[in-house]
Amino acid sequence: MTKRPRAQFAAWLQTGNTITQQFLAIGGQPDMVSLAGGLPAAELYPVETLRAAADRALTRWGSAAMEYGPVEGLLALRDAIAQRLRAQTGRAFGVENVLLTTGAMQGLDLVGKALVDAGESIVVQFPTYLGALDAWRPRCPVYEKLDWNELERPGFDATLGRAKFVYAVPNYSNPTGVLVPQVQRSALLEKVLASGTWLLEDDPYHALQFEGETGPSMLASAAARSDGPYQGPVIYLGTLSKSIAPGLRVGWAVAEIEMIRMLALAKQSTDLSSSIFTQAVALDLIERDFDLEHARKIVPVYRQRRDALCAEASMHLAEWFEWDVPPGGMFVWMRARDPRIDTDALYEIALQEKVAFVPSSVFDPMGKDRSSMRLNFTRGSPEVIKEGVRRLETAVRRYLHR
Sort strands 250-254 and 98-102 into parallel, antiparallel or unpaired.
Answer: antiparallel
Q: Toward its own copies, which CB reaches closer, 9 or 30?
A: 9
Q: At what angle do helices 257-271 and 103-115 cross, to 10 degrees?
A: 110
Position among 33, 35, 36, 50 found at the interface with its own copies (CB under 8 A): 50
Nearer to its own copies, 217 or 274 (CB): 274
> Can you tell me whether residue 144 is helix, strand or coil?
strand
Judged by CB under 8 A, the stretch of 40-48, 143-151, 211-219, 318-326 that binds its own copies is 40-48
- Candidate segments 265-273, 320-328, 344-352, 361-369, binder of its own copies by CB under 8 A: 265-273
Quote the least distance from Cβ 395 to its own copies, whole Å: 26
For residue 381, the minimal CB distance to its own copies (Å) is: 15
DSSP E strands in 255-387: the ranges are 321-322, 331-336, 355-356, 358-359, 372-376
54 binds its own copies (CB under 8 A): yes
283 binds its own copies (CB under 8 A): no
Instruction: Give the Cα separation of 93 and 231 in Å (integer).
Output: 10
Question: Binding to its own copies (CB under 8 A): which residues in 148-167?
Answer: 163-165
CB of 44 to its own copies, least distance (A): 8
- Distance (Å, whole) CA 250 – CA 274: 8
- Through-space distance between the first and last CA atoms of the chain, rounded to whole angstroms: 49
Beta carbon of residue 138, minimum distance to its own copies (angstroms, whole number): 5
Q: Which of 33, 178, 254, 266 touches its own copies by CB under 8 A?
A: 266
Given candidates 248, 253, 283, 313, which one binds its own copies under the rule CB under 8 A?
A: 248
Using the minimum distance from each CB to its own copies, give the nearer residue, 276 or 355: 276
How many angstroms separate the CA atoms of 364 and 126, rounded? 6
Our finding on whether 26 is near its own copies (CB under 8 A) is no
Q: Which residues pair with 247 in a beta bridge?
A: none
Q: Considering only residues 72-91, where is the footprint of its own copies by CB under 8 A?
A: none
Q: Which of residues 82-141 bind its own copies (CB under 8 A)?
A: 101-103, 105-106, 109, 113-118, 131, 134-135, 137-139
Q: Which stretch binds its own copies (CB under 8 A): 6-14, 172-180, 303-311, 359-367?
A: 6-14
Host H or E run for residue 25: helix 19-27
Q: Is 11 in the site for its own copies (CB under 8 A)?
A: yes
Q: Give the residues across from 278 on adjacent strands.
A: none
| Dihedral Cα 156, 160, 161, 166, nearest 10 deg | 180
Task: Convert residues 174-193 into a mask of x (bound to its own copies by CB under 8 A) and - (unbound).
Answer: -------------------x
Q: Which residue lies nearer to its own copies by CB, 131 or 177?
A: 131
- Give the CA radius of gyration of the chain: 21
Strand-pairing partners, residue 372, are 335
Does position 21 interact with its own copies (CB under 8 A)? The reply is: yes
Q: How far is the CB of 282 from its own copies (least distance, A)?
A: 11
In angstroms, give the least distance from the CB of 130 to its own copies.
10
CA proximity to 125, closest of 161, 171, 194: 171
CA distances from 74 to 95, 237, 268 (A): 10, 17, 14
Check if the beta carbon of residue 108 is closer than 8 Å to that of residue 135.
yes
Q: Which residues pair with residue 125 across a beta bridge?
A: 146
Please identify, using beta-carbon distances, which residue of 63 and 149 lies nearer to its own copies: 63
DSSP label at residue 149:
G
Q: How far is the CB of 245 from its own copies (least distance, A)?
A: 4
22 binds its own copies (CB under 8 A): no
Q: 3-state DSSP call for residue 308?
A: helix
